[in-house]
Amino acid sequence: MIRLIAISMIFSVYTAGESLFIFNSDEDEARYYQIINEIRCPKCTSGSLSSSNAPISEDLKRKIYELIQEGRSDQEIKDYVVQRYGKDSLYEPDFSENLFLWLSPAIFMILIAFSVLLIRRR
């Protein structure tokens, strides 16, 4: 029984350690963690890739690691993710496609200021 427990503990440590990545430099490791925090999990509704343990997230983390090891830039990695999983996979929306959403608060404030000026003049 003790041997069975020991073997299962060794196996569990081995399988848990398998998902760890070895980086060439601290900068690559920092880039990896920054990128997986900026990308949404393809399966989860609103979680980041770093907070997900879904199998598709683990595959994507492994692919990001491989791309970093190949020397790809952050933008190239994000472009790969967008091409594969769509534009909603990034937390930072594109300004040109969401122009109305980005400018609507400013337009709304200008309209309020204009309305207040018109009311005060009367």
Between CA 69 and CA 72 the distance in angstroms is: 8
**Quick check: helix, strand or coil at residue 11?**
helix
In a domain, 2, yes or no: no
Residues paired with 40 in a beta bridge: 48
In a domain, 11, yes or no: no
Residue 18 confidence (pLDDT): 44
In a domain, 109, yes or no: yes
* Global pTM exceeds 0.95: no
**Quick check: helix, strand or coil at residue 23?**
coil
Residue-wise pLDDT tens digits, 62-103: 999 999 999 999 999 999 999 998 888 888 766 666 777 778
The tally of domains found in the chain comes to 1
Residue-wise pLDDT tens digits, 7-50: 666 655 544 444 578 888 899 999 999 999 999 888 887 788 88
> CATH code at 80?
1.10.8.640
Question: The tokens 């983390």 sit on which residue?
Answer: 61
Question: The tokens 């009311």 sit on which residue?
Answer: 119
Contacts of 80 (CB under 8 A, 6+ apart): 63, 67, 72
Which residues constitute the domain of residue 57?
22-121
Residue 44 confidence (pLDDT): 81
Q: In the predicted model, is pLDDT for residue 107 greater than 50? A: yes
C-alpha 34: how far from chain center: 8
